[in-house]
């Protein structure tokens, strides 16, 4: 399997499918690169080079004790981009991966990147504070940590329900998709999963967003129960210099079904424009 070795010795697994203009995907918590397989297949079949990695601590990458923080995630991504020699890339990040992409662009600049896509992404800040009253209360994230520290297998199974909107009337989410969510989630190391809760909930990406000078497509479902749109995409587009927003009516956090079909079409259109 292909890996790069980071400056601190972690091995980062990646997929590299197809050839052409690179499109680099960053996955959400607590998943791995397999969550992007449909998009990797789609783009590699359309003349693009589709790349996705397992964040450290997740999937097939090293389960490091240290370094489970947003700066290191971004630095790992930078080392991957450098190692593969990627230029004129499009970066795509879902959920926590959207934070990773945003921090990469704010921290490492856009010399290798020409466009970005943030879908269901956590920026600018998930946590509710006096300055961010639309955010999610800290007690919600404490409950996530308690679920991980207790019976994390059952916690992940339960989380798959709101993640894909399976608790909504008329939902067609399959058991297979929920089981796939559970399978990928169980591959993340407990320490990495626990640490990442702080990173996706408490990291403030405001300054990163303000530094980004390339076109950004912001996509979000208006029934996202994990990363509510009002505190995320609605505020993100106001901070970016060059952003377009697409709101998907009734869409959940997880990209599946009709939402996935619509997003895939929009993703292709944005990349090819």
CATH 3.30.1340.10 describes domain 3-272: no
Over its C-alpha atoms, the chain yields an Rg (Å, rounded) of 17
Helix (H) or strand (E) holding 12: strand 11-17
Pairing of strands 89-94, 113-119: parallel
**Distance (Å, rounded) from C-alpha 195 to C-alpha 187?**
15
Residues that are catalytic: 95, 224, 253
Nearest Cα to Cα of residue 206 among 135, 102, 136: 102
Q: Share the mean pLDDT of the chain.
A: 98
**Quick check: 28 and 94 in contact, CB under 8 A?**
yes
pLDDT for 10 equals 98
Provide the whole-model pTM: 0.97
Task: Tell me if 57 sits within 8 A of 126, measured CB to CB.
Answer: no
Q: Per-residue confidence at 273, pLDDT binned at 50, 70, 90?
A: confident
The pLDDT assigned to 125 comes to 98
* pLDDT score at 46: 97
In a 3-state reduction of DSSP, which class is residue 57?
A: coil
Sequence ranges of the domains in the chain: 3-272
- Band the pLDDT of 1: cuts 50, 70, 90: confident
The pLDDT assigned to 13 comes to 98
- Residue 194 is classified by DSSP as H
Instruction: Provide the edge-to-edge strand list for the sheet that holds 113-119.
Output: 3-5, 11-17, 48-53, 21-26, 89-94, 113-119, 216-221, 243-248
Mean pLDDT, range 30-35, rounded to an integer: 98
Task: Give the confidence band of 247 by pLDDT, cuts at 50, 70, 90.
Answer: very high
Q: Model confidence over 113-154: pLDDT tens digits? A: 999 999 999 999 999 999 999 999 999 999 999 999 999 999
């Amino acid at each position: 399997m292909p890996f790069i070795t980071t400056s601190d010795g972690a091995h980062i697994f990646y997929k590299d499918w197809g050839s052409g203009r690179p499109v680099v995907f960053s996955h959400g918590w607590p998943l791995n690169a397999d969550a992007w397989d449909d998009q990797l297949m789609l783009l590699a079949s359309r003349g693009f080079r589709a790349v996705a990695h397992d964040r450290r601590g997740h999937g097939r990458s090293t389960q490091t004790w240290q370094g489970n923080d947003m700066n290191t995630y971004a630095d790992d991504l930078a080392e991957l981009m450098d190692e593969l020699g990627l230029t004129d890339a499009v970066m795509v990040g879902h959920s926590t991966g959207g934070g990773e992409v945003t921090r990469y662009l704010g921290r490492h600049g856009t010399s290798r990147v020409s466009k970005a896509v943030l879908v269901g992404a956590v920026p600018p800040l998930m946590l509710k504070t006096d300055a961010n009253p639309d955010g999610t209360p800290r007690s919600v994230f404490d409950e996530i940590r308690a679920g991980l520290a207790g019976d994390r297998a059952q916690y992940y199974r339960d989380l798959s329900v709101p993640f894909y909107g399976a608790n909504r009337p008329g939902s067609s989410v399959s058991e297979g998709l929920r089981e796939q969510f559970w399978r990928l989630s169980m591959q993340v190391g407990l320490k990495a999963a626990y640490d990442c809760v702080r990173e996706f909930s408490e990291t403030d990406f405001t300054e990163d967003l303000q530094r980004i000078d390339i076109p950004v497509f912001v996509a979000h479902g208006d029934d996202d129960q994990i990363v509510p749109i009002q505190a995320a995409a609605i505020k993100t587009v106001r901070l970016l210099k060059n952003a377009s927003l697409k709101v998907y009516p009734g869409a959940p956090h997880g990209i599946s079904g009709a939402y996935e079909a619509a997003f895939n079409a929009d993703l292709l259109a944005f990349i090819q424009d």
